[in-house]
Amino acid sequence: MIRIAIAGVAGRMGKTLVQAVADRADDARVAAGTTLADDPQAGQDIGLIAGTGMLQVAASTSLDSCADSFDVLIDFTSPAATLTHLNACRRQKKAMVIGTTGFTAEQKQQISDAANDIPIVFAPNMSAGVNVSLRLLALAAKALGDDVDIEIVETHHRHKKDAPSGTALRMGEVIADALGRNLDDVAVYGREGISEERDRKTIGFATIRAGDVVGDHTVIFAGNGERLEITHKASSRMTFASGAVRAAIWLGDRSPGLYSIDDVLGL
């Protein structure tokens, strides 16, 4: 039985994660959770906060204060909060699943450094479908090569702060790697005004923030006379939450290291 802690239990994703763990009652349980210090729900039962029923576990405002209660932390909060939790897990020798997006290169390096001491699954998207689509994107990029224009379009709810999404950026990285390019050199983030015609070696990104869309990603490979589109649409946050819980259970007996969802899925 893996004892799981959830960061930000009062948030949209935090509540969904509590529900996802509750669905795995045979091999995992919610053992701890955190809220912001000024959250009115701090100290309340995590199950009541998430709407799953009483769990007899109170939400804490400090991860260190409940470190003895859990084995793995799942974190989908914000870059700054995640790094604070990362340092706490590193001190306490606790495993961590990180689904937060929007990290800088320097912040990603901090995660890599922490993986020398604790096991970490770090992925911008915990969905099995998305990670299968990454394999398809690499295949399409290698097959179509320089004969197509490549554009990535992503849509998320109006509350999402980082853009493009971590998943869209990961898709771009996979495609660029397959083509022997560096994404930093070829990425184009939005188009405006009058400029030269499109450079075929570039990879374009378009971002939409609207309504309550959980997450849609489409990669377009457009050539002369035909167009291939690979799309993934998430209709529920439970998709990501279930993947994260699966990763937390998988981490239960792992050695320190930085792992991906590919590792969890055996890809």
CATH of the domain at 210: 3.30.360.10
Q: 96 and 139: one domain?
A: no
Q: Is 156 a catalytic site residue?
A: yes
pLDDT above 80 (res 251): yes
**The tokens of 140 are what?**
């399409």
Q: Which of 160, 161, 201, 217 is catalytic?
A: 160
Q: How many domains does the chain have?
A: 2
Q: 117 and 244: one domain?
A: yes
Q: 109 and 191: one domain?
A: no
Q: Cα separation of 130 and 171, whole Å?
A: 9
Q: 99 and 135: one domain?
A: no
CATH of the domain at 45: 3.40.50.720
pLDDT digits over 61-81, tens only?
Answer: 999 889 899 999 999 999 999
**The tokens of 217 are what?**
């990603």
Q: 25 and 104: one domain?
A: yes
pLDDT digits over 196-209, tens only?
Answer: 889 999 999 999 99
Q: Which of 85, 156, 217, 232 is catalytic?
A: 156
Q: 42 and 168: one domain?
A: no
pLDDT digits over 161-197, tens only?
Answer: 899 999 999 999 999 999 999 999 999 998 888 888 8
Contact in structure between 189 and 165 (CB atoms under 8 Å): no
Task: Output the 3-class SS for the chain.
Answer: CEEEEECCCCCHHHHHHHHHHHCCCCCEEEEEEECCCCCCCCCCEHHHHHCCCCCCCECECCCHHHHHHCCEEEECCCHHHHHHHHHHHHHHCCEEEECCCCCCHHHHHHHHHHCCCCEEEECCCCCHHHHHHHHHHHHHHHHHHHHCEEEEEEEECCCCCCCCCHHHHHHHHHHHHHCCCCHHHHEEECCCCCCCCCCCCCEEEEEEECCCCCEEEEEEEECCCCEEEEEEEECCCHHHHHHHHHHHHHHHHCCCEEECHHHHHCC
What was the pLDDT predicted at 180?
96
Q: 116 and 132: one domain?
A: no
Q: 107 and 138: one domain?
A: no
Q: Is 232 a catalytic site residue?
A: no
CA distances from 111 to 44, 211, 258 (A): 30, 32, 8
Q: 179 and 139: one domain?
A: yes
> Which residues form the domain of 192?
128-234
Q: pLDDT class for 234, splitting at 50, 70, 90? A: very high
- 92 CB neighbour count, 10 Å cutoff: 15
Q: 107 and 137: one domain?
A: no
Q: 144 and 21: one domain?
A: no
pLDDT above 80 (res 25): no
Q: 160 and 183: one domain?
A: yes
pLDDT above 90 (res 24): no
